[in-house]
Amino acid sequence: MINRCFNPDVTREIALGAKQYIVNDKYYLLHFSDWDEQIGEWLAEKEMITLSSEHMYIIEFLRKAYIQYKRHPVIRMVTTEMSRRYGADKSTVKYFHTLFPGGIHQAFLVAGLPMQDSCC
């Protein structure tokens, strides 16, 4: 028997207002294009994160970078962008973890990026 960290056959429907979202059993959106601020807020709350303007900036950056490069951005790309936007004090991995304590994969989840194979 193979022990998998998640079951790819299990999906959940999340109803928020009149809209339905489909997520896997780790709550990653199945369809990148379904993401909007409503599901982003819901996912953040599930992760016990209250979204600030800094969170939203990072989320928007992650989504744009994913579209542009066709892959998940690495943490160094994110901290470099944070340095440009917010200055050196907020450009460290340590500061990033104050925003997303679960790390880059938690940020990917809230931003609606697909789950990476290495998330297990």
Q: How far apart are CA 71 and CA 65, in angstroms?
A: 8
Three-state DSSP class for residue 30: coil
Residue 75 is assigned to a structural domain of this protein? yes
Query: In the predicted model, is pLDDT for residue 120 greater than 70?
Result: no
Residue 111 lies in a domain: yes
Is residue 87 a part of any domain in this protein?
yes
Check pLDDT > 60 for residue 38. yes
Q: How many beta carbons lie within 10 A of that of residue 79, not counting itself? A: 18
Span 17-39, average pLDDT? 96
Is residue 86 situated within a structural domain? yes
Q: Which of 22, 74, 93, 119 is catalytic?
A: 119
Instruction: Report yes or no on 6 lying in a domain.
Output: no
E strand intervals along the chain: 11-16, 19-24
Checking if the pLDDT of 45 tops 80, the result is yes
Q: In the chain, how many domains are there?
A: 1
Check whether 80 has a pLDDT greater than 50: yes
Q: How many C-beta atoms lie closer than 10 Å to residue 72's C-beta?
A: 19
Residue 5 domain flag? no
d(CA 73, CA 65): 6
Active-site residue 5, yes or no? no
The CATH number of whichever domain residue 95 belongs to comes to: 1.10.10.370
Range of the domain at 67: 35-115
Phi, psi torsion values for 107, nearest 5 degrees: -65, -40
